Amino acid sequence: MYFNRMTKLATAVAIVFGLSACGGGGGGGTASSSTVGTAAVGTITGFGSVFINGVEYNTAGATITVEGSPASESDLAVGMVASVEGSASGASGVALSIDVSDEIEGLVQSNAVPAGGNSGTLVVMGQTVNVDANTLFESKVAGITALDQIAGGNIVEVNGYGDGAGQVFATRIEVKAADLATYLAAHPDGIEVKGVVGNLDSAAGSFRLGSLPVDYNGAVLDAGLTLTDGVYVEVRSVSGLDGSGTLVASKVDLQGDGVKGHRGSENEDFEMRGIISTAFDGSGFGMDGTRIRVSDATELKRGSKAGLLAGVMVTVEGTFDANGVLNARELKFEDRGDRELKDTVTAVSTTGVNSGTVTLQDGSVITVDNSTIMKDSRRNGMMPDPRFNLQALGTGDYVEVHVYSDSASGDLVAVKLERTDP
């Protein structure tokens, strides 16, 4: 597997140079001696090709999978967490593979997001789902137009960063159906949830995923699966929850190699940009199941070890050791935005597909870059653009922008820009 990955990365570097030589490539950058193979995990923030971790990846010829099935770029959406392999030179890159997998697609049990709010928690299939102002929201159900309107019994898909033990920090939530029966009519394989097996009772045919009890007596088990505590699985169900809140499993599949998180080969460079799921314990922390070690040699930017708390977004660059632990060489705290602006656009200046400035009617000038989450949510007679980027924004458009003030320049920088109805 390691040889195949490095072969892919070497091929991608060659592709970048080839695109540069013939003047092509959707990334908009020029390959140079700084072009390197890359393996990374991050949230998709925009399109034009695909923006992940501040890099615009050209996807021509890339293998794209969603939940392990072949897919295309049109199947991807802003807010999905993606693993990418390829190469990058500055802000431009070439993807050889992009893989997307959600955390849950199942029944909502409760919603603690306050009316009119955009932050709080939901319980979905026994998992506590944390949402905030940067969580992307979509709905295929009429009448549900905001996070606080999601009700018990609705079926939602949750993308984000989870610890495998019952906590998920959501980057995207999509309401798929009003109820289980409606969902099953279009998805006969059933609802699903991923997690780490705990409290396995083989005699009783039960285990737990976080706080969710699972009855697997009537389930089909993956041929490669040996159920033990600690193994990472996906549980599917066509029956849902029984009267006691137990998920009645119809199928249990091994996920990957049975270990939650990303495990690179020894000495492999890797980058992760995401939300911390388990806080710093003195030597490291967890993010999406990957153990990240922080030492005195780690270069910390814009924060300290004390700030490595669950729910905080960071970018980590480092190297895997023989045990699959990512030793952080550099760690940067990412600003999540502390101010929201709502106004009409009076001017747009672009320096790239998704970079430049936006001027609002109140005079605010906002910087947009490759890491800005770009979302189109217009509804009044306009179809939202799923590939929305800065070049699609025009004067007269109304936007909601989540921003922070850059400590060095004083510029307002957009974490999330959403075009919406006034």
DSSP string, 340-385: EEEEEEEEEEEEETTEEEEEETTS-EEEE-TTSEEEE---SS----
- Which of 35-49, 85-99, 185-199 has the least mean pLDDT? 35-49
Q: What percent of the chain shows pLDDT beyond 70?
A: 91
List C-alpha distances in Å: 78 to 8, 40, 72, 134, 371.
25, 17, 14, 11, 11
Q: Per-domain residue ranges for the chain?
A: 2-100, 104-254, 269-333, 339-420
Residue 13's pLDDT is: 40
> Measured in Å, how far apart are the chain's first and last C-alpha atoms?
51
Strands 212-215 and 50-52, by their bridges, are unpaired
Mean pLDDT along residues 249-275: 90
* Residue 1 pLDDT greater than 90, yes or no: no
Same fold, 269-333 and 339-420: yes
Fold of the CATH domain 269-333: OB fold (Dihydrolipoamide Acetyltransferase, E2P) (2.40.50)
pLDDT at 6 over 50: no
pLDDT bin (cut points 50, 70, 90) of residue 36 is low
According to the model, what pLDDT value does residue 35 have? 57
Does 271 score more than 60 pLDDT? yes
pLDDT tens profile 111-159: 999 999 889 999 999 999 999 999 999 999 999 999 999 999 999 999 9
CA distance 19 to 28: 10
Q: How far is CA 249 from the centre of its chain?
A: 26
Looking at the predicted structure, is the pLDDT value of residue 22 above 70? no
**For position 34, what pLDDT does the model report?**
57
Q: Predicted confidence band at 265 (pLDDT cuts at 50, 70, 90)? A: confident
pLDDT at 329: 98
Q: How far is CA 325 from CA 216, 259, 279, 306, in A?
A: 32, 12, 16, 20
Give CA–CA dist 155/29, Å, rounded: 41
CATH number for the domain running over 339-420:
2.40.50.140
d(CA 28, CA 370): 12
Q: Is the pLDDT of residue 7 over 50?
A: no
The string over 296-320, giving b where at least 16 C-beta atoms fall within 10 Å of a residue's C-beta and e elsewhere, is eebebeeeebeebebebbbbbbbeb
Q: What is the pLDDT of residue 293?
A: 98
pLDDT at 390 over 70: yes
Averaged confidence pLDDT in the chain? 90
pTM of the model: 0.88
Which residues make Cβ contacts (< 8 Å) with residue 215, sequence separation at least 6? 205, 206, 242, 246, 247, 248, 249
> Is the separation of the CB atoms in 107 and 123 below 8 Å?
no
The pLDDT tens digits for 341-375 are 999 999 999 999 999 999 999 999 999 999 999 99
Please give the Cα distance from 387 to 76 (Å, whole number).
10
pLDDT in tens, 85-109: 999 888 899 999 999 999 999 999 9
Average pLDDT over residues 43-52: 94
Asked if 366 contacts 357 with a C-beta cutoff of 8 angstroms, the reply is yes
Q: pLDDT tens digits, residue range 155-178?
A: 999 999 998 888 999 999 999 999
Maximum separation of any 2 CA atoms in the chain, in Å: 68
Taking the CA of residue 114 as centre, how many other CA atoms within 13 Å lie in the half-sphere pointing to its CB?
3
pLDDT of the residue at 90: 85
pLDDT-derived band at 29 (thresholds 50, 70, 90) equals very low
Q: C-alpha distances in angstroms, 291 versus 4, 5, 99, 168, 277?
A: 24, 21, 20, 16, 10
Report the distance separating Cα 194 and Cα 290, nearest Å: 15
| pLDDT score of 262 | 83
* Overall average pLDDT of the 285-311 stretch: 96
- Please check the confidence at residue 26 and state whether its pLDDT lies above 90: no
DSSP tag of 113: P
Is it the case that residue 20 has pLDDT exceeding 90? Answer: no
